Structure 1
Amino acid sequence: MPSKSGLSKAFAAAFAVLTVSVICGTVTMVVLYKVQMSGVNATARPTVPVTTEPPPPVLRLPRSLIPDRYELVLQPRLYTRIVREENATSPNQTLVFTGNSTVHFRCVQKTRSIFMHGRDLQVSGPVLTDRDSRKKIWSRVKDLDGESGFLELELDQDLEVGGNYSLVLDFRGQISQNLDALFLSEYQEEPEPGEDSGTDRFLAATNLQPTDARRLFPCFDEPDMKAEFSVTIIHRLKTTALSNTQMTVSNIEDDEWKYTRFETTPRMSTYLLAFTVSEFTPIVSYTTDNRVMIRIFARPEAKAAGHTSYASHITGKILEFYERRFEIDYELNKLDQIALPDLYPAAMENWGLVTYQEGVLLYEEGVSSLLHKENVAGIIAHELAHQWFGNLVTMEWWNNIWLNEGFATYMSHFAVDAVEPTFRMKDTFIMNNLHAAFQEDALASSHPLSPPQEDIQTSDEIIGLFDSITYSKGSLMLRMLADVVGESVFNEGINSYLKTFRFRNTNQNDLWNSIEMVRRSKYGLSVEQLMTPWITQEGFPVITIDTTNGEIYQKRFLYNNTAESRLCWPVPIRVMSNMSESALVWLEDVLGPVKKEEFISKDGEWILANVNSTGYYRVNYNLENWQLLLKQLETNRHLIPLMNRGQLIDDAFNLARAKLIDVTLALNSTLFLREEREFLPWESAVTNLHYFVLMFDRSEVYGPMQAYLRDQVEGLYDFYRKYTNNTTVPEDHSEQHNQVNAIWMACSNGLPECVEMAKMKFTEWMQPNGTNNIHPNLRSVIYCQAVAAGGKAEWEFAWDQFLSSSDTSEKDQLREALSCTRKIWLLNRYLEYTLDPDKIRLMDVASTIDSIASNPAGQALAWNFIRAHWDYIQQGDTSLLIEGVTSRFSTQFELDEVSYQPSVLFMRDYQRSVRKL
């Protein structure tokens, strides 16, 4: 990262000379697909006594046995309700589950040992049978290593190649309270009118991705060892059990228990197995041909209030869109979606039983914002895309998880555009994912989209791949490929890929070959030749073009330009000028410089590369061409495509951050915004200005910066004043986002009329018998600004509203607003509240601390707090916590502080966070 002092002086100088009428914008609209992970500790190589077959190498199971089918019986010994009454005897909540499994497998290589996975389980009673001869084979559990996750069974004779066998095991485990494996979720049912006490409610749910199926039952827990599953759940009376497939029978077993048996699943990976036990009831709908039953499960209160209606409304439409797009029917006859009070990740694509955090599935009209509605649609579309990409066709090993997540991310915006065209998701998809991927991939610590298998072995290494590289870069690679080969060829290729590898496992070469086979034109590079460097190398290039002589060269783009790199890529460049239409030009995988006629400016024309941002790279130009492009933006911006108007700003600011161009040039790239009303250019400007705010809000530059932004945002704030004052919003969705962000920019930079407006609207709500008349779209920003401008009364009112609200999205907005106070003692109180799960749910602890750290007054408090309480905090989602809490760190002292912490803060993203400083 550039030194703060040098950049600070350059930035201050730029403010001194730059005169602009508008520098403001919108806060980025992001459909956030949270990192999918579960809290699994790193595994080590198992220590196993010498047998006729050595322990599995490199933490992978041997391929001597291939599973075909599991018959699984599970009994979570859980009470789903406990009445809160004084002097009442509560049932003993043991949080134990028991089970029995039978796995049928084939032997493909002679062996006298059986290696499976089984972690944190008590395993007993093995019964091994040769299914061909029906003879029993002596076996015993020889090793169950809690650290490695391996379970070994010793046999008294060899298993023969071609033989078919069955293994029966009994097991017992603990229901987790850390949102992993089979876990407990708790919520409260408030007392009915006239009653004195409420009820504590509980449910059990699974969360097995990537490596926690082994904590539920003994199994071959690797994604390419697919099998069918026949599941039976024994659960208490008056509860409902759900699993991947439709129920076949549900009978009472005794006066306390009943069992529910489910249809056998298709062949699938172990991490996709799922079940829940709860008292939830569904809202039911069907696809238009009545072939698939769609059910949405949630808390009774949420269902009664209609919070499941929107999800029910769009799910069938999205499912049918994918069926048409892929030309393959959804495989099952039912699709359940359940809103869980606790879950990490935000959602999980279990085949036929998709689990969600409440806040990303439930939507309340008149309370939830437009942004929340878009998030709900986007995440449902992402998870349903997985029913094909990930469930039907699965990567061979976790190093290719991008084939699951990249496709789900890429396809989701098409689905949302089909069912909610006014959301314009395709527009925001590109900028949001480019920004997320570029930020991560511009670090020396980045990783390839598809690392070598041998580098991804432990659970921590697997979990580390669930990041913006996998999701965002993966989706952008697919977009770039589709642009090169053509959308119709790309679609035909992926449909062929899905049909060819149905119920099977793949790597990226299978995808390349599927697309290559349907290409009508075979000129140039093959798909494999084009894509392999982009997939197997970390990072991305900056393409530098000199329009005076047509010279072009590439170099890996890094924020720290002292790091040398000889990496290069085959680069498809769409180029246009003010005198020519877009054309495709190739830069071979050489560093250059290479001369290309298409990049020579004639008679003062400007050259624009990467038209519509279809390529995954940044572009730099000679100064004269930069000036011509910026002049065009000011005189007639519409000659430059909308996407490039945003990308020019993004490239300029990040090139300045890497010291490849002057900061003044980056600021000049925003001059045209005085006339711009489109969302994407503003999004790009505000996103990039936010970085400078983080760097300088504790420096002498921040005062002039705020004054400057305050002056420039006033016009945009006035533009929306008639809506804001009347608590209404514009009709156009992009303008609705601009309104929110105009308020945010104005208030956060201290524009007096904005701050007074927020205080007034919040104060009206605080009055006795006051009602909340703040429009749902504006609540997040007004709540935060009112709490920031207020004191104890405002903070405690917001806290009381947080506790009493039953709407998840409203609670999330209030929870974030509470972190906006400038009172240090209130921030300290709030931090202490995160240690009490009755106040802040475990899954919300990390995001709450992160919000506090985003407040300049709370950053140091949050950093000290996580160091003091890491043992508790790490039980929840900490995937990006350190990165967020240290986002303002920019001095050598702060770098030294973080570098000193690894023994105290053992976490997956430690090294990445240090390298960002």
Structure 2
Amino acid sequence: MPVHPKENVFNSFINGTDVIWLNGVHFQPIRGRRLFPCWDEPAFKTTFKISILHHENYTALSNTPIQKLEFANNNMVWTHFRITPLMSTYHVAVVLTNFPSDHINVNTFEHQAIWCRLYSARYTIFARNVLEIVTSHLETRWNKKISKIDHIILPDSENIWDRHFRDEITRLVVHEVAHHWSNNLIRLSWWSYLWIIDGIAGLLAANTINEIFPDSQISDLFVVQIRHDSLNLDTHSLMKPLQQKINDISDIDLLFTSVSYIKAPTIFRMLQHVLTDVIFWKGINKYLNMEFSQLSSKNSVSDLWTAMQIAYIELNSEYMINLTKMMSKWTTASQYPVVNVIRDSRSGNIIISHKGNSWWIPITYTTQTDLNFNDTEPYHWLTPHTEEINIPNIKQFDWIILNLQQTGYYRVNYDLTMWQRIVSYLNSDNYKNIHVLNRAQILDDAFYLAIEEKSLNLSTFWNLSHYLSRETDYVAWYPMIKAFEYLSIFIPFPEIGLEEKMRRILPILFKKIGYQEIPDENDFTKCLRQEIAKWACVLGDSDCRIIATSRLEWHFTNPEKHKYIYCLIYASVLTVKS
């Protein structure tokens, strides 16, 4: 039966003088009905016996290993696959390719391979190593076995593997494997709960990276990026609620193109720190191991909260708030709360509040005297019934910082005196005593409060950002880089004096990290140098433009040496030269 073009992933590329085609069938979310009669809703599951007739020059791949090949006339061949386990129609996958394969030796998989052009194979060695480690780890961690998986590298994505940024490749590989596992293990009752897969997969990927590569900062960058992007989208009302009503077929397609995959992991991460790591993953494990008969036919999220609640009761006898009530607002509403922190002038107590609050907001904090950014389990809550919290016994000249390691999905605004104390501390030699995730959070929140909400003086934000002349951690710099991008679109730099302020910061930073890449240095330092060099040139830094001009001339003289160059940096140089 012919397949509608919408259901296909077609790819063509030039190999010498030949045009080579790659063909894959894409059924998500409700396109199975166009290929064969079916109820293509997630609650309906069945087994599939798949056979494909194709030219003998191509290899057919599907969800299960090949059972047998049957040669036919005219150089055609039938590929018959083993019967699949119970699954939804949108999980059906078919690929035709003539890429060579490289099998991955992982004891937990009967069949696992990477399929790619010979050109790409040399760049996938590191990715294959990561795949071996990750799949073995997940099988051991969850006591689950997936019998077969094929990874296909499309020609359009080959440049990712050619950039030698191992942290980027690690994150990409781990995320894709975690998403594959989640898709296989989570059984949804309806499309409205698709965010559950996105949330668990995203958090599982970050957790896996932490466990396998404990010294890596990849998970820190993951936290900063998804939190920044999610809050930014929510700020501008571009983020719909995680859980949405489905009124017609077009709503289903929109769910698969939405940005819930950004917000969902941040909400799950907040719950992880509320429950503690052990209880959270025990609850997830219970949810994944529910018998089909135990699952609700109407409400997947109810099944999830029930599993979490049971895990909590089994491991903790203390009273716990109702998870369904606590999480309802976070999953069914857009936007987010902004928590206010002030010191009462009479009592000296710290007052934490969110007026008109309808959220369950977990409050974590630390102070200048009692520094502890690792205690992320909340001991205080702002609830629909508790709009204000009083914290006594905070030393008079101490700062207080809320939302440790960005575990809560909210912003924090302090009174001016508290902001000034935080600014002063960050601009001291002790700035690293504040966790890198909170350094990033403070910058991100201050930028939003100054530019969007206008509840913070812009001068306070600039005084805060001056500390970046000391900062060499890309994770902490990330919100400022995004601020550059935002300002470059909406506000002329001279209007806010950005060039002058950054010229005081960037030369000091470049003295620490240099303009030249050092062999075997940290990938994050490379990322920071590239990003900051770009903006230094854009903002008119003379040293940066001199070096960029020299490197551009070298590239013109030696074009075969480097395939990728810093386009925006050189573009700014060309603009000046012209």
What's the TM-score, normalizing by structure 2?
A: 0.90
Q: Does the 8 Å contact 2:115/2:150 carry over to 1?
A: yes
Who is 1:415 aligned against? 208
Match of 1:465 among 240, 255, 266: 255
Q: Deviations over 1:664-710 (max 9, x none)?
A: 1222221322322233222222222332232223x7527x4224323
Alpha-carbon distance between aligned partners in 1 of 2:195 and 2:512, rounded to the nearest angstrom: 43
Superposition deviation, residue 432 in structure 1: 0.6
For 1:790, give the aligned amino acid.
L
Which structure's CA Rg is the greater one? Answer: 1
Change in 2 beyond 3 A, CA 1:183/1:692: closer
Alpha-carbon distance between aligned partners in 1 of 2:471 and 2:440, rounded to the nearest angstrom: 11
Alpha-carbon distance between aligned partners in 2 of 1:626 and 1:788, rounded to the nearest angstrom: 36
Who is 1:340 aligned against? 154
Give the alignment of 1:629-644 within 5 angstroms.
629-635=422-428, 636-644=430-438
Structure 1: 5+ residue stretches without partners: 1-97, 99-171, 191-197, 343-356, 556-565, 792-820, 824-917
Q: Secondary structure at the match of 2:325?
A: helix
Alpha-carbon distance between aligned partners in 2 of 1:337 and 1:386, rounded to the nearest angstrom: 13
Who is 1:670 aligned against? 465
Who is 1:578 aligned against? 368
Q: Does the 8 Å contact 2:533/2:569 carry over to 1?
A: no
Whether 2:80 is the aligned partner of 1:261: answer: yes
Superposition deviation, residue 601 in structure 1: 4.1
Change in 2 beyond 3 A, CA 1:485/1:417: closer
Q: Does the 8 Å contact 1:543/1:618 carry over to 2?
A: yes
Q: Does the 8 Å contact 2:68/2:79 carry over to 1?
A: yes
Q: Deviations over 1:181-232 (max 9, x none)?
A: 1343211111xxxxxxx11122211122122222332221111111111100
Greater relative CO (CA pairs within 8 A, separation 6+): 1
Superposition deviation, residue 412 in structure 1: 1.1
Alpha-carbon distance between aligned partners in 2 of 1:483 and 1:241, rounded to the nearest angstrom: 44
Change in 2 beyond 3 A, CA 1:300/1:730: closer
Whether 2:15 is the aligned partner of 1:189: answer: yes
Superposition deviation, residue 711 in structure 1: 4.1
Hey, which of these two has a bigger chunk of strand by percent?
1
Alpha-carbon distance between aligned partners in 1 of 2:324 and 2:18, rounded to the nearest angstrom: 59
Q: Secondary structure at the match of 1:376?
A: helix
Hey, which of these two has a bigger chunk of helix by percent?
2
Match of 1:692 among 473, 487, 500: 487
Q: Does the 8 Å contact 2:243/2:331 carry over to 1?
A: yes
Whether 2:323 is the aligned partner of 1:323: answer: no
Give the alignment of 1:316-715 within 5 angstroms.
316-326=132-142, 328-332=143-147, 334-341=148-155, 357-359=157-159, 363-364=161-162, 368-370=163-165, 373-421=166-214, 423-444=216-237, 446-451=239-244, 455-466=245-256, 469-501=259-291, 507-519=300-312, 520-548=316-344, 549-554=349-354, 568-580=358-370, 584-590=378-384, 593-598=387-392, 601-635=394-428, 636-656=430-450, 657-697=452-492, 700-701=494-495, 704-715=497-508
Q: Which moved more, 1:414-423 or 1:472-481?
A: 414-423
Q: Does the 8 Å contact 1:554/1:591 carry over to 2?
A: no
Change in 2 beyond 3 A, CA 1:601/1:586: same
Q: Does the 8 Å contact 2:221/2:475 carry over to 1?
A: yes
Whether 2:569 is the aligned partner of 1:789: answer: no
Q: Does the 8 Å contact 2:537/2:572 carry over to 1?
A: no
Alpha-carbon distance between aligned partners in 2 of 1:710 and 1:468, rounded to the nearest angstrom: 39
Change in 2 beyond 3 A, CA 1:466/1:630: farther
Give the alignment of 1:1-400 within 5 angstroms.
98=1, 172-174=2-4, 176=5, 180-190=6-16, 198-287=17-106, 289=107, 291-303=109-121, 306-326=122-142, 328-332=143-147, 334-341=148-155, 357-359=157-159, 363-364=161-162, 368-370=163-165, 373-400=166-193
Superposition deviation, residue 785 in structure 1: 2.1
Q: Does the 8 Å contact 1:541/1:568 carry over to 2?
A: no
Superposition deviation, residue 265 in structure 1: 0.9
Q: Does the 8 Å contact 2:481/2:531 carry over to 1?
A: no
Alpha-carbon distance between aligned partners in 2 of 1:603 and 1:248, rounded to the nearest angstrom: 74
Superposition deviation, residue 750 in structure 1: 2.2
Match of 2:554 among 747, 754, 764: 764
Q: Deviations over 1:797-842 (max 9, x none)?
A: xxxxxxxxxxxxxxxxxxxxxxxx999xxxxxxxxxxxxxxxxxxx
- Computed over aligned residues only, the root mean square deviation of the Cα atoms, in angstroms, reads 2.6
Superposition deviation, residue 567 in structure 1: 5.8
For 2:115, give the aligned amino acid.
F
For 2:367, give the aligned amino acid.
S
Superposition deviation, residue 325 in structure 1: 2.3
Q: Does the 8 Å contact 1:437/1:468 carry over to 2?
A: no
Alpha-carbon distance between aligned partners in 2 of 1:539 and 1:670, rounded to the nearest angstrom: 26
Change in 2 beyond 3 A, CA 1:391/1:822: farther
Change in 2 beyond 3 A, CA 1:521/1:693: farther
Q: Deviations over 1:522-575 (max 9, x none)?
A: 4141322322221122221001122225433215xxxxxxxxxx5621111012
Change in 2 beyond 3 A, CA 1:700/1:498: same
Superposition deviation, residue 457 in structure 1: 3.6
Change in 2 beyond 3 A, CA 1:602/1:469: farther
For 1:640, give the aligned amino acid.
I
Who is 2:544 aligned against? 754
For 2:352, give the aligned amino acid.
I
Q: Does the 8 Å contact 2:108/2:139 carry over to 1?
A: no
Q: Secondary structure at the match of 2:25?
A: strand
Q: Secondary structure at the match of 1:790?
A: helix
Superposition deviation, residue 315 in structure 1: 1.1
For 1:245, give the aligned amino acid.
T
Change in 2 beyond 3 A, CA 1:301/1:627: closer
Q: Secondary structure at the match of 1:434?
A: helix
Superposition deviation, residue 384 in structure 1: 1.5
For 1:380, give the aligned amino acid.
V
Superposition deviation, residue 773 in structure 1: 4.4
Who is 1:88 aligned against? none
Alpha-carbon distance between aligned partners in 2 of 1:467 and 1:441, rounded to the nearest angstrom: 16
Q: Deviations over 1:107-144 (max 9, x none)?
A: xxxxxxxxxxxxxxxxxxxxxxxxxxxxxxxxxxxxxx
For 2:469, give the aligned amino acid.
R
Q: Deviations over 1:566-592 (max 9, x none)?
A: 562111101221233557333342386
Alpha-carbon distance between aligned partners in 2 of 1:375 and 1:738, rounded to the nearest angstrom: 14
Q: Does the 8 Å contact 1:730/1:736 carry over to 2?
A: no
Q: Does the 8 Å contact 1:392/1:502 carry over to 2?
A: no
Change in 2 beyond 3 A, CA 1:359/1:447: same
Superposition deviation, residue 647 in structure 1: 0.8
Alpha-carbon distance between aligned partners in 1 of 2:3 and 2:416, rounded to the nearest angstrom: 66
Who is 2:527 aligned against? 737
Alpha-carbon distance between aligned partners in 2 of 1:300 and 1:214, rounded to the nearest angstrom: 36
Alpha-carbon distance between aligned partners in 1 of 2:357 and 2:291, rounded to the nearest angstrom: 33
Q: Does the 8 Å contact 2:382/2:388 carry over to 1?
A: no
Superposition deviation, residue 780 in structure 1: 4.1
Q: Secondary structure at the match of 1:746?
A: helix
Percent of pairs with identical residues = 25
Alpha-carbon distance between aligned partners in 1 of 2:155 and 2:37, rounded to the nearest angstrom: 28
Q: Secondary structure at the match of 2:530?
A: helix
Alpha-carbon distance between aligned partners in 2 of 1:682 and 1:760, rounded to the nearest angstrom: 27
Change in 2 beyond 3 A, CA 1:292/1:579: same
Alpha-carbon distance between aligned partners in 2 of 1:568 and 1:265, rounded to the nearest angstrom: 46
Q: Does the 8 Å contact 2:179/2:202 carry over to 1?
A: no
